[in-house]
Amino acid sequence: MDTIVDPKTDLFHTDYVEEETKFVCQNFASNYIPGIVILPKEFCDEFGEKMPERLLLLVPGKVVWNALFRKDRSWIEGLEKMMIYYCIKPYYMLIFEYVGGPSFNLEIYNPYGVEINYWISPKSDEALSADRSFFEFSDLEIDKLCGTLSHNVYNNGSGLYDLVVNQKHLRKKEYYKILKRKACRKLGLDESMEKLKLCFKNLVCKLKLIWDDGKVYFDRKWYALAKAWKLKEGDTVVFHMTGKKQKFEICVYDDDILSKCNKSGGGKKTGVMNWFKFVNESFLRGGQMEIPRVFMQSGSASFSEKVELITRDGDSSYAEFCPRRNFLTGMRDFLRRYGVDENDVIVFQYVKASTFAVSLFKFSGMEFKYNCESTIQSTTVNNVPQPDVIMISDSSVGVADVGMEEIGNEDPENNMEADFEEVEDINIVSFQVTLKRSHVDKKCHGLYLPKLLYSTFKSWRSGTNIRLLSDDDVYNVSVLRRNRQCRLGSGWTDFTVGNEFEEGQRIQMDYVHEKTFRVTLLE
């Protein structure tokens, strides 16, 4: 039963530990158990003998939930009512802070990467007990939750195309006009394609495409799909690439998504909710990550060009904020300093304008010890510096696309703005190019990729098609290969003309997916 904390009592003021211990419970579908939260082994080894059987969990809003600690199982049970009350489903993350005795502070995060709304209408004990059907999750619902976490916490929430659902999309008909011509261009669809595959993560649905005078329609399966997805007017369906033609992963953002999040920052001195990210391979290699879409939609935080990150050891690190893409960049030194690995968790708490307190958690669940001196790693590989972004001013050659074999000894990277030696297997995800006349003169000179991307393009052959994403459009460009060189050829001119690029402008190219670059014009 939940209890409202009386400030006059000392309910949470007994047997404090010297320093609060934090850990996360990730609750993936594979370890989700109704009414039970599995604790990290390290925590139970250290505190299991000291903790009483009956526990108190304090949730923002001064609500206390009773729970039972099972020492023999290393878990907390008796949480069915709490899970139903806050709609804690698979892929929701919990952060526990042990303050001593029977007492924990608890925060709850949804798969969109932000805190839930703790201030919801109270339910009676009878209603909570009778609502056991809450735990009957369908395979599709679990797949949707998994996909939501993937695109907001592991990867990026920005996709190729955002579809805002309207009433016409939800009426039962024989066929549906869902995608306009511009949307088809963004998704790379043309009249030769007869089917489209959509999925949240693993469960794939096939839709038949009906073309008429350049317009595309979905068949009647769309209606069944919209019902299964529980789409409503005003919801946003974001299409993400998968690397496979005609197949897209989608993520749904409810029209009222912010009402389900801690938008007002309740329980926080700043009035701004927390958010978190899992560290993926791309983040480790490139030192850049996207701030969750829902957090940015809340509009509650203020950002400047430089963002300060303060860890619990009191040290500060700095990242750069890109407002166009809602990215934090330049974080590779920070990740190395604390020995952050793939799948670790980073939680951000807003302190003041462009400043966050950062908590780091290992994949096992326990918070870092922040002994950064022992985890500092060299920032060189074979004595070669590894910057977050490669800066190049690409050279040109006076040959057409068919002349790759005729290239002489000219080095396509002779104007690189850093002194790099040749490193074959280094992974770089971003580079910048200052456009020269040859890049934009419409004579098919193309653009060389830096040799430090060799591990990325070494499997490509001449004629391999890649995609360039720019704002809302997708451009297909074929590459030309020779030895350790790779040049963007046929299709590059269409790309530069379509974007009205000019000599002297600087662009950034981010390798965001297999054979796919996102291109951004820098101010």
Q: Is 395's pLDDT higher than 90?
A: no
Residue 8 lies in a domain: yes
Distance (Å, whole) CA 395 – CA 390: 15
Q: Which helix (H) or strand (E) holds 199?
A: strand 195-199
Residue 285 lies in a domain: yes
CATH number at residue 441: 2.40.330.10
483 class by beta-carbon count within 10 Å (0-12 exposed, 13-18 middle, 19+ buried)? exposed
DSSP letters for 135-168: G---HHHHHHHHHHHIIIIIS-S--SEEEEP-GG
Mean pLDDT of 421-429: 40
Structure tokens at 267: 């329980």
Mean pLDDT of 310-325: 91
Task: Summarize pLDDT for 154-163 with one digit per residue, the tens.
Answer: 987 788 899 9
> Among 67, 73, 70, which residue's Cα sits nearest to residue 54?
67
- Note whether 454 and 483 are same-domain residues: yes
Mean pLDDT of 305-327: 93
Mean pLDDT of 182-191: 88
- pLDDT averaged over every residue in the chain: 83
Task: Summarize pLDDT for 492-505 with one digit per residue, the tens.
Answer: 988 888 888 999 99
Q: How far apart are the first and last CA of the chain?
A: 56
- Note whether 395 and 514 are same-domain residues: yes
In which band, very low, low, confident or very high, does the pLDDT at 126 lie, cut at 50, 70 and 90? Answer: low
224, 257, 290 — which closes off a domain?
257
Residue 53 lies in a domain: yes
Distance (Å, whole) CA 503 – CA 506: 9
Q: Is 170's pLDDT higher than 60?
A: yes
Task: Summarize pLDDT for 427-463 with one digit per residue, the tens.
Answer: 446 888 999 988 888 777 789 998 878 888 888 988 8
Number of domains in the chain: 4
317: which strand partners? Answer: 309
Q: How far is CA 278 from the centre of its chain?
A: 8
Q: Which residues contact 59 (CB under 8 A, 6 or more apart)?
A: 65, 82, 86, 106, 107, 108, 118
For residue 313, how many other CB atoms are within 10 A of its CB?
12
In which band, very low, low, confident or very high, does the pLDDT at 125 lie, cut at 50, 70 and 90? Answer: low
In which band, very low, low, confident or very high, does the pLDDT at 17 lie, cut at 50, 70 and 90? Answer: low
pLDDT, position 188: 87
Q: Is 387's pLDDT higher than 60?
A: no
The residue ranking higher by pLDDT, 491 or 75, is 75
Distance (Å, whole) CA 515 – CA 496: 18
Q: Is 415's pLDDT higher than 80?
A: no
Compute CA distances 405 → 55, 394, 486, 505, whole Å. 72, 19, 11, 29
- Note whether 365 and 420 are same-domain residues: no
Contact predicate 434/395, CB 8 Å: no
- Note whether 13 and 118 are same-domain residues: yes
* Maximum separation of any 2 CA atoms in the chain, in Å: 84
Distance (Å, whole) CA 341 – CA 284: 8
- Tokens 């790693």 sit on residue: 377
DSSP letters for 206-229: EEEEEEETTEEEEETHHHHHHHHT
- Note whether 299 and 244 are same-domain residues: no
Dihedral angle at the C-alpha atoms of 223, 229, 234, 235, nearest 10 degrees?
-140
pLDDT, position 122: 66
- Note whether 230 and 300 are same-domain residues: no
Q: Is 2's pLDDT higher than 80?
A: no
Task: Summarize pLDDT for 263-285 with one digit per residue, the tens.
Answer: 999 889 999 999 999 999 888 88
- pTM, rounded to two decimals: 0.73
Residue 145 lies in a domain: no
pLDDT, position 219: 94
Distance (Å, whole) CA 1 – CA 256: 29
320, 354, 377 — which closes off a domain?
377
Residue 243 lies in a domain: yes
Three-state SS at 395:
coil
Q: Is 97's pLDDT higher than 90?
A: yes
Q: Is 124's pLDDT higher than 80?
A: no
Residue 137 lies in a domain: no
What proportions of the chain, in percent to the nearest 5, are helix, strand and coil? 20, 35, 45
In which band, very low, low, confident or very high, does the pLDDT at 398 lie, cut at 50, 70 and 90? Answer: very low
Residue 311 lies in a domain: yes
* Highest mean pLDDT, choosing among 52-61, 180-189, 401-410, 492-501: 52-61
Distance (Å, whole) CA 447 – CA 479: 9
The residue ranking higher by pLDDT, 408 or 312, is 312
The residue ranking higher by pLDDT, 28 or 421, is 28
pLDDT, position 423: 31
Mean pLDDT of 150-157: 89
Length of the chain: 523
pLDDT, position 380: 34
**DSSP one-letter code for 358:** E
CA torsion sign for 342, 83, 62, 50 is negative
In which band, very low, low, confident or very high, does the pLDDT at 119 lie, cut at 50, 70 and 90? Answer: confident
- Note whether 297 and 203 are same-domain residues: no
> Which three-class secondary structure string do you get for 117-133?
CCCCCCCCHHHHHHCHH
Mean pLDDT of 468-483: 83
Find the range with the poorest average confidence among 42-46, 304-308, 501-505: 501-505
Where does 408-474 have alpha helices with state H?
Answer: 437-440, 454-457
Contact predicate 328/288, CB 8 Å: yes
> Among 338, 340, 398, 405, which residue's Cα sits nearest to residue 372?
338
- Note whether 182 and 53 are same-domain residues: no
In which band, very low, low, confident or very high, does the pLDDT at 340 lie, cut at 50, 70 and 90? Answer: very high
Structure tokens at 415: 């104007």
- Note whether 496 and 389 are same-domain residues: yes
In which band, very low, low, confident or very high, does the pLDDT at 420 lie, cut at 50, 70 and 90? Answer: very low
- Note whether 393 and 323 are same-domain residues: no
Q: How far is CA 155 from the centre of its chain?
A: 3
In which band, very low, low, confident or very high, does the pLDDT at 69 lie, cut at 50, 70 and 90? Answer: very high
Q: Is 416's pLDDT higher than 50?
A: no
Structure tokens at 45: 């080894």
Type of residue numbered 338? Y
Task: Summarize pLDDT for 197-256 with one digit per residue, the tens.
Answer: 999 999 999 999 999 988 899 999 999 999 999 999 999 999 998 878 889 999 999 999
**CA-atom Rg of the chain in angstroms:** 26
- Note whether 11 and 117 are same-domain residues: yes
Half-sphere exposure at residue 374, Cβ-oriented, CA atoms within 13 angstroms: 4
Residue 368 lies in a domain: yes
Q: Regarding beta strands 275-278 and 289-290, do their DSSP bridges make them parallel or antiparallel, or are they unpaired?
A: unpaired
The residue ranking higher by pLDDT, 383 or 523, is 523
257, 281, 304 — which closes off a domain?
257
Contact predicate 90/28, CB 8 Å: yes
The residue ranking higher by pLDDT, 64 or 419, is 64
Domain coverage including residue 28: 2-127
- Note whether 311 and 335 are same-domain residues: yes
